[in-house]
Amino acid sequence: MKSLRIALCAGEASGDLLAADLVRALRERFPDAEFAGIAGPKMRAAGVTSWWDASELSVMGLAEVLRHLPRLLRLRRDFRQRVLDWTPDVFIGIDAPDFNLGVEKWLKARGVRTVHDVSPSIWAWREARAEKIGESADRVLCLFPMEPPIYAMHGVDARFIGHPLADALPLDPDRDAARRELAIMGDGPVLALLPGSRMGEIARMLPTFLETADRVGKQIANLEVLIPAADEHCRHAIESLLRQIPLAHAYARVLDGHAQQAMIASDAVLLASGTAALEAMLAKRPMVIGHRISPATYRIVKLFGLLKSRFVSLPNVLAGRELVPECLQDDCTPERLADELLRWLRDPSAFATVEPEFLRIHEELRRDASSQAALAIADLIAQGEPLPAP
């Protein structure tokens, strides 16, 4: 008998990391399994045979996607045929839904069992997508507990596995150690600014965030501002904006990465939602959400009712109520953002009512996500037959 074969596809660096951890967890159950597919460096280090490099899928923005579309269509055609010819026991698409869901649907129609690891945000946008995702995947793995019930309403098999970030961050992060690591020597408060990791986000949000920090610095002496840069391009963009909008009332420092440490070390965080809000919650830090999209996109979202959630930030979504202030669109002004930050910074007791809820959510998400994912996949491979413990 041939050994178990598991085909995978991951796109960006985050998917590469998730897939590598999943492969290691699957090896505990299936030591002789073969792994192959579209892989990044961490997947290769975990023992995945790379047919194509994950960087082939790293295309962002409409113009860039259109330019690369013929190549991406060829890659998808060649990849799915190679997977089918390899006759895997299961195909696992890790994130990258625009690419993976199409591959999964094609393979599922030809009898290959399929798993989609990391559900798209159906709780926020177009809930009806759940049924379409079920047409592609035999099983969907979800990072958040509110997602499987939505899939269940559409007859889709979905499992809550927990969030890898909740596994990675300690329940009680060491703030002093983070400050030592970042060489924070002053005795003033620390404000972390996270405007996003894409150039468009930085250009749109950072000027407002810098003006906000300057307003806060007027009110609170010796404010130190940390601005993590995701990569060299982001750093250049941040430094360019700092030259145009210098801080007169605070000291700003641009960091090469270290976003997580900056949040843990801070007294408050100003960020543009997304996964960073989840990280700030897991770091147990007070935060303010400031987010703005283009007016045209905002009008479309409002006109067609595309946003299904009352909230946009994960701490509020997961709590089902407002734990942290969300200053969105016209409310995302330096004046409003500064007022909300000053509330946290001037009254530490205000956070005392929020921190226990952050801890509760952290514990709910902390499930050893890789092991839970491996169990869900092993269960699918066995088609319901009982499996021995790893």
Q: Where are the alpha helices (DSSP H) in 8-61?
A: 13-29, 41-45
CATH of 5-162+367-382, one of 3.40.50.2000, 3.40.50.150, 1.20.140.160, 3.40.50.300: 3.40.50.2000
Whether residue 337 contacts residue 209, with contact meaning beta carbons closer than 8 Å, is answered with: yes
Domains 5-162+367-382 and 175-363 are alike in CATH topology: yes
| pLDDT above 60 for 63 | no
- What pTM was computed for the model? 0.89
Give the mean pLDDT of 361-368. Answer: 98
Q: Model confidence over 32-46: pLDDT tens digits?
A: 999 999 999 999 999
Burial profile 116-131: b = 16 or more Cβ within 10 angstroms, e = fewer: bbbbbbbbeeeeebbe
Which of 57-71, 318-332, 366-380 is the least confident region?
57-71
pLDDT at 1: 56
* Per-residue pLDDT tens over the stretch 91-114: 999 988 989 999 999 999 999 999
Q: Which tokens hold the place of 178?
A: 């983070």
Among 78-82, 285-289, 307-311, the range scoring the smallest mean pLDDT is 307-311
- The β-bridge partners of 271 are 194, 289
Q: Per-residue pLDDT tens for 146-166?
A: 999 999 999 999 999 999 999
User: What's the rounded Cα separation, in Å, for the pair 16 and 9?
Assistant: 9
Would you list the domain boundaries of the chain?
A: 5-162+367-382, 175-363
Contact 387, 379 (CB under 8 A): yes
Q: What's the confidence (pLDDT) of residue 71? A: 85
CA angle 131, 166, 195 (to 5 degrees): 85
- Distance between CA 87 and CA 273 in Å, rounded? 41
- What rounded mean pLDDT belongs to the chain? 91
Q: How far apart are CA 96 and CA 54, in angstroms?
A: 10
What gap in Å lies between CA 321 and CA 179, rounded to an integer? 31
Give the whole-angstrom CA distance, residue 67 versus residue 49.
28
> Among the listed ranges 122-126, 181-185, 287-291, 377-381, which one has the minimum average pLDDT value?
122-126
User: Domain 175-363's class?
Assistant: alpha beta
